[in-house]
Amino acid sequence: MALVCASFFLQNTAIAAQLVWTGDFEQGMASISGTSEADFRKKLYDEGINASADVQTTGGMSICGTPRDGLFAGRNRVLEGGSGVRVRAEILSHTPGAFKFDWDGPEYWVGISFCLAQWPQGSDAHTFFQIHAPNEPAGSTCDFAGNALAIDVAGDTGMISVIDNPSGISEGGGSNSNSKVVYTYNLRNTMGRWQDFVFRFHLSTKGTGYYTAWHNGQQVASESGLVNVNWKDSCGQVISSTNSSGLHVGIYGGPNNAGPKTIYIDSAKIAEGSNGYDLVAPGGAVQPRPEPPSALTASP
């Protein structure tokens, strides 16, 4: 089931984390069908021509070999090379509808694993993972843009990016509005190997936002005291929405360069509450890690 029913309880005056959504692809293609019972729905440009999303198992996963967990993993592909083509080969968490991450709400934990199987020389994209801004009304001249948290891409570099914007006003102009890079890693060094990510965060319009990020079990970045959402549009007006949406996962962005590209996705989970690392970490429970120093940046 896409939505995990959970009862919350108090533990040491904090609300203990409970799973609220999972996306493990174990229903096969039904997992990404967008129906009421599906974990995901597709978000593709020119499906079957420029982009595709499906579900694979051992024997059909190229250099990635086997799913990270269970019998199935998601596969997102950009099918056509060549520059100048807008590309989107994403799937979105589905509850039904995208999961909503409340501003000035609870602490969230997200776990997910990626395996990059095709990434020809000269490849590029915008993102593999997004906690997405609200969408402005069609035809609006005032932009809501800005991912609260993302795994961005620039050539062969993967980057964790977060919003740090005391004014709360969106700069507009795309997903990286008011964001900064807090961690980088070499994509080419990860080819054919599952990469596990865990994120702990609180989204705030009031300067109490924070995040901690782990890559393959190692803490790589942490910061607190943030306004980490754009809660005013690019015209300076307060946005009526009070949440970000997600998970948006897969290959997003253009212009498209180089040849076909493939990324596998598995073990996606969302929890709410404190001490949620064990619940969402890909591959099973491990001990929660202590927080690293503020504003840590690292590269493996």
pLDDT of residue 290: 37
Closest Cα partner for 112 from 76, 59, 156, 63?
76
The CATH number of 15-280 is which of 3.90.1310.10, 2.60.120.200, 3.20.20.140, 2.30.40.10?
2.60.120.200
Mean pLDDT of the chain: 89
Q: What is the mean pLDDT of residues 84-94?
A: 90
In the three-class reduction of DSSP (H, G, I as helix; E, B as strand; rest coil), residue 278 is classed as: helix
Burial of 164 (0-12, 13-18, 19+ CB in 10 A): middle
Residue percentage of the chain with pLDDT more than 70: 90
In Å, the largest CA–CA distance within the chain is: 56
pLDDT of residue 20: 96
String of DSSP letters for 21-90: EEE--TTGGGGGS-STT-SEEEEESSBTTTEEEEEE-TTSSGGG-S-SSSS-EEEEEE---STT---EEE
> Given a cut of 50, is residue 152 above it in pLDDT?
yes
What confidence category does residue 96 fall into, taking pLDDT thresholds of 50, 70 and 90? confident
What confidence category does residue 284 fall into, taking pLDDT thresholds of 50, 70 and 90? low
Closest Cα partner for 247 from 54, 135, 111, 145?
111
pLDDT of residue 295: 37
The conformation of residue 289, written as its DSSP 8-state character, comes to P
pLDDT in tens, 39-59: 999 999 999 989 999 999 999
Whether the Cβ atoms of residue 215 and residue 195 lie closer than 8 Å to each other? yes
In the three-class reduction of DSSP (H, G, I as helix; E, B as strand; rest coil), residue 96 is classed as: coil
H or E element, residue 203: none
Q: Which residues are registered as beta bridge partners of 238?
A: 232
State the Cα–Cα distance between residues 29 and 73, nearest whole angstrom: 10
pLDDT of residue 297: 38
State the Cα–Cα distance between residues 116 and 93, nearest whole angstrom: 20
Q: What is the mean pLDDT of residues 270-276?
A: 96
